[in-house]
A and B are shown apart, each in its own frame.
Chain A
């Protein structure tokens, strides 16, 4: 070791004896040129589409998808290759990304996504990682070809103009709206909002007193028996239930809700006259008078429909209720403001009433990346904070005017 160090020191500090200074410098210069050129060539080789496609995960999954899109072939003959979008173009970020690829090499070696099924399972995580990168750098790689400053907005379709001018004003990241332009979108169905995990874990630690009211933190199935075998319906998130007893894994709860006296009366709502879905029962059970007790009935003057105040008891799995609904709304509020403000300023909750929200929300939720559970919570949050419930807010204030980027 000591010898090695000494010979290295000698190598650098002792002047050469037999070789002229000019030869050394010239030799070093040539070696430097060759080394740098070699490095760049190698860098470029790993930045070729052929290199990306040499691993079968890319070749079997992502290439066929790209080939169906306009980024593969089009009338102008300009096309995007993998690294055009997926490798940063600046040196530092590029080198960092290349080193990050050691993770992908490891994945390839241990076969994390070596089948189509495994790939689809991981696709959401992979896509989210890439979306995060694009949102952080303002879709810099897209804008190497498509930049706001080079766009002629007048040549766009009128509907596109509105959205694109606004986006340009805000210098918005392309991928915020244009997801899935080169590959299929991940299956959002299986997606889970990680925020619910903390909710579920705090619900499992919730001590439950019989006879008190609690709120569901996740949707639950309802059963007729304590063994949880006979399914009779389901109850929605954030629904208020009264816990009557707890036996083993099961909990008997009382639902006190409203329904329209029309059809089978399967869908139960939390308030009179408001379409805030709280429970959905099976057809035969909803008509079973020994199960459903009607306490009251009123006519809704708006629709002329008769609403019944109903109550029923059912069993459900325990460990999914909290004594306060606020934690659920906190998640919903965060999701509402982050998902909707991507394309437009979100309207205030109380700008619409509870029966207007479902239609509006249903029309917009497809543009977001919300999973089903989150979407249901957000809708319920909006409805229960709508103008029907808000006292402080005047719906006509100019502040709350809906600004939508999509006409």
Chain B
């Protein structure tokens, strides 16, 4: 792992697989991971607001 931190100085033989896994991780994060996280976060926010309404605020004014 540590050898890869040196970035561009990595041996060119390892470049192809590293680049492939990098692209895969980038696409997974941008198009799957983060959208799901966003949806979950908004849902969690909604639940928190709802529970606060039940417990303290009452229905929105």
Contact = CB atoms under 8 A, between A and B. Distances in A.
A31 interface: yes
Nearest to B36: A35
Given A17-B18, A17-B22, A98-B46, A137 B59 contact: yes
Given A96-B49, A137-B60, A18 B22 contact: yes
Interface string B22-45: 110111011100110011001101
Contacts of B4: 14, 17
Given A17-B4, A39-B39, A136 B59 contact: yes
A19 B5 CA distance: 14
Interface in B1-34: 1, 4-5, 7-8, 10, 15, 18-19, 22-23, 25-27, 29-31, 34
Contacts of A27: 26-27, 30
Contacts of A183: none
Given A15-B7, A16-B22, A16-B26, A31 B35 contact: yes
A11 B25 contact: yes
Using C-beta atoms within 8 Å of the partner chain, give the interface range for chain B: 20 to 34
Contact of B46 (A11, A39, A99): A99
Nearest to A42: B39
Contacts, number: 83
B46 A38 contact: no
B38 A39 contact: yes
A197 interface: no
A133 B50 CA distance: 13
A219 interface: no
Contact of A19 (B23, B34, B46): B23
Given A19-B19, A93-B60, A100-B50, A24 B45 contact: no
A106 to B, nearest CB: 14
Contacts of B22: 16-19
Nearest to B39: A39
5 contacts: A17-B19, A32-B30, A90-B60, A95-B43, A100-B50
Interface of B: 1, 4-5, 7-8, 10, 15, 18-19, 22-23, 25-27, 29-31, 34-35, 38-39, 42-43, 45-47, 49-50, 53, 58-61
Q: Nearest 4 pairs between A and B by C-beta?
A: A18-B19, A99-B46, A31-B30, A95-B46
